[in-house]
């Protein structure tokens, strides 16, 4: 196992444990319904930010004005004698 893979594994386990602890203590402190509201707003914000992301590099302009159709190969039925 490489050093970075081990580090990412440990960080992933730590982040999962922190999320579970935050959820448990959050429900104890804020209540079930408020935690559902917080989770929905964070999830919705994540979905919106995912949809609104811009590509990091602009697309190169295309030299073709129209896309060319893909050739379709057809099979001919042969005559049997």
Mean pLDDT over 7-13 rounds to: 93
| 60 domain-assigned | no
| 70 domain-assigned | no
Domain count, the chain: 1
Assign 68 a pLDDT band (cuts: 50, 70, 90).
low
| 57 domain-assigned | no
| 64 domain-assigned | no
pLDDT score for 39: 87
| 68 domain-assigned | no
| 71 domain-assigned | no
d(CA 16, CA 9): 11
Per the structure, the complete domain to which residue 16 belongs is given by 3-51
Mean pLDDT over 11-33 rounds to: 90
Assign 66 a pLDDT band (cuts: 50, 70, 90).
low
| 34 domain-assigned | yes
| 77 domain-assigned | no
Half-sphere CA count of 27, side-chain side, radius 13 A: 8
Residue 50 has pLDDT above 60, yes or no: yes
């Amino acid at each position: 196992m490489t050093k970075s893979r081990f580090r990412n594994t440990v960080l992933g386990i730590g982040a999962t444990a922190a999320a579970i602890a935050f959820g448990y203590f959050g429900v104890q402190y804020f209540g079930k319904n408020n935690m559902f509201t917080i989770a929905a707003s964070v999830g919705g914000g994540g979905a919106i930010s995912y949809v609104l992301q811009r590509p990091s590099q602009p697309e190169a302009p295309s030299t073709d004005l129209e896309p060319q159709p893909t050739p379709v190969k057809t099979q001919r039925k042969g005559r049997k004698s």
